[in-house]
Structure 1
């Protein structure tokens, strides 16, 4: 599935996401306590020079898949998401100047992700927020940190 060539020029800015990462979730109400930290792994690789696929793994194996791509004439990316719980979602995304953002808006559950990529590209620190009123009121969902392994 992965190829050893340069990514499509309209996706080149995503190259920093490629590779293997350790992720750590924290400060989440769905975890046993605010101090609980959960680690996992993420791999990111190119699919036929057309999209970037990120696969998230936890203790039970693959837990989520993100496929990122875009129309070369648009500034925003489209992200297809699915996970082991049976959820599938479509996000919009921007990635520029070391800022990575994703969001989706639905009447019952709206989300947004805001993060910063370190200057060396080896750490990404971000926060997910959620809203149950179409984005009128936002609450913290969880904090996530990506640390590059390779």
Structure 2
């Protein structure tokens, strides 16, 4: 295999284990871990939270996406990343992603269900504050939930 593309180095700051705090009533902290695979050509993200408490919203308990796995790779034609996502519900999605100047963005445009994420990395690299938004038409967006990553 050839050398690792230099654009992938932008993701090095994500590597390691983070505590994830979703701002969803009834849900506690979970964790996510980023690790390089295939000699640094792909970044794997695996997340879980363990069993959900009975106080978690019914919709979350019935449709719990955890654990989740994402595989992040580079499209060197435009230096954007592609994210392959799969979760415990059997959901599979593909997102586009950028990570530059401490801002992490992911998005997908799918008929009837558009999604986007934006997270901001603190200068010291110890936290990311983010939010997921959703839209039925790609024009009118609503907050889905906020979350933070902490080392």
Indicate the TM-score class for this superposition, using the shorter chain for normalisation.
0.7 to 0.9
Give structure 1 regions of 4+ aligned residues with deviation exceeding 6 angstroms: none
Equivalent residue for 1:123, pick from 118, 121, 127: 127
2:104 aligns with 100
CA contact (8 A) 1:7 1:15 kept: no
TM-score when normalising by structure 1: 0.84
Equivalent residue for 1:10, pick from 4, 7, 11: 7
Of structures 1 and 2, the one scoring higher in RCO (CA 8 A, sep 6+) is: 1
SS in 1 for 2:83: strand
Q: Counterparts of 1:75 and 1:137 in 2: how far apart (Å)? A: 28
SS in 2 for 1:121: coil
Q: Counterparts of 2:14 and 2:118 in 1: how far apart (Å)? A: 15
Q: Counterparts of 2:10 and 2:35 in 1: how far apart (Å)? A: 14
What displacement does 1:8 show?
4.0
TM-score when normalising by structure 2: 0.83
Q: Counterparts of 2:113 and 2:67 in 1: how far apart (Å)? A: 20
Q: Counterparts of 1:7 and 1:41 in 2: how far apart (Å)? A: 27
What displacement does 1:9 show?
1.8
RMSD: 1.8
